[in-house]
Copies of this chain bind each other. A is one copy, B any other.
């Protein structure tokens, strides 16, 4: 059967390997698996969220409230914007999809950093759009601007801070860059890890309301999958001017969010204390990774997120390192597919990280 031609160039996203797979393939006891490949919050679900899910579990025969009234109100309050500025997606991922499909068709142009969140490109290719990337792996706004002036762009993606590398651009530089972008270009500011960046360095903080007030062509994306510890529930949001939100709504399928997910997100927003505590612990543990890397002679990218990218240099092959770790139940992300001889490790709990350091030493010894 013939399908849309544009799909011929589409590859599917390779998600971090799930615990179940490691158990199935390598016979590791599920309790011994340490999953540090998908930048989840290792401190578990907020107990308030768990209690709410348990309370509602018997109501699953009823469709969700598709108006998402309560969650939109809660997000509106948190960010000091109106409900009409908010759209909820199955992860912020789904808002990325809406943005691309709203703006792009064959031969549209998407501008992004060379190494950034893989879904930007995958959604772009679904529409047949052309992907333009900076030469720099990390965000270099001078390169973004030069390419923009040369080619133009229908959508620009800024991942602040950037996944999978971890770097972050200063907000004042972002704003200077945005001044030079035409109001017809949609700029997606992906803040999936903003809670971490803003905690570490106030200069990296993006305030959604400021952003969309100054730049009506921008949309801010946030997620509950990282600091808010709801990766399994699939929920994120976009904040933009109502003109943009209304159009994205045309691409949203009804009931894109489950009842339990809506309730979990509302509850998670009430427990900011939990989130802040998790972020503080994240950066305490991050210094251990930095020290580990230095002491073993590895370069790393200073990170504003809950993961760290460690370069394997010329002595090791990241793919082999990741594979050896996997076989003993430690799941990290190999960045070979991103053109980097590096591994990306989510910052785990104190205990998990201690084990990672010791097992990594053993693995490196064997691969020498």
Interface string of A34-60 (1 = CB under 8 A from B): 010010111111010110011001111
Given A44-B61, A53-B60, A64-B234, output 4 extra A-B contacts at Cβ < 8 Å.
A4-B102, A40-B61, A126-B250, A126-B251
Chain A 237-254 interface 0/1 with B at a Cβ cutoff of 8 Å (1 = within): 000000110010111111
CA distance A18 to B262 in the complex (A): 14
Q: Is the CB of A65 within 8 A of B233?
A: no
By a CB distance below 8 angstroms, the chain B residues around A183 are 1
Residue in B35, B250, B253, B264 whose beta carbon sits within 8 Å of that of A119 in the complex = B253
Are A254 and B54 in contact, with the CB atoms below 8 A?
no
- A197 CB–B CB distance under 8 Å: no
- List chain B residues, Cβ under 8 A from A261: 258
In-complex Cβ contact of A244 among B1, B18, B259 (8 A): B1
Q: Are A253 and B94 in contact (CB under 8 A)?
A: yes
Smallest CB gap from A20: residue in B: B65
Are the CB atoms of A3 and B102 closer together than 8 Å?
Answer: yes
In the complex, which residues of chain B have a beta carbon less than 8 angstroms from the beta carbon of A69?
A: 20-21, 24
Chain A residues touching B, majority SS: loop
| A63: B residues at CB distance < 8 A | 15-16, 18, 38, 40, 225, 231-232
Which residue from chain B places its CB closest to the CB of A102 in the assembled complex? B3
Q: What's the Cα separation between A13 and B251 when bound, in Å?
A: 10
A97 at the B interface (CB under 8 A): yes
User: Contact size class for A?
Assistant: 35 or more
Report yes or no: A15 in contact with B255, Cβ–Cβ below 8 A. yes
A57 contacts B50, C-beta separation under 8 Å: yes
Which residue on chain B has the smallest CB distance to residue A248?
B3
Q: Is A194 an interface residue (CB 8 A)?
A: no
Taking the closest CB of chain B, its distance from the CB of A227, in whole angstroms, is 10
Query: Is B61 a contact partner of A104 (Cβ separation < 8 A)?
Result: no
Q: Is A7 interfacial (CB-CB < 8 Å)?
A: yes
27 inter-chain pairs at a CB distance below 8 angstroms, sorted by A residue, are A1-B217, A2-B184, A4-B101, A4-B104, A7-B102, A10-B250, A15-B66, A18-B67, A19-B65, A20-B65, A20-B67, A21-B69, A24-B69, A38-B63, A40-B61, A40-B62, A42-B61, A43-B61, A47-B58, A50-B58, A54-B57, A60-B229, A64-B231, A119-B253, A119-B254, A232-B259, A258-B258
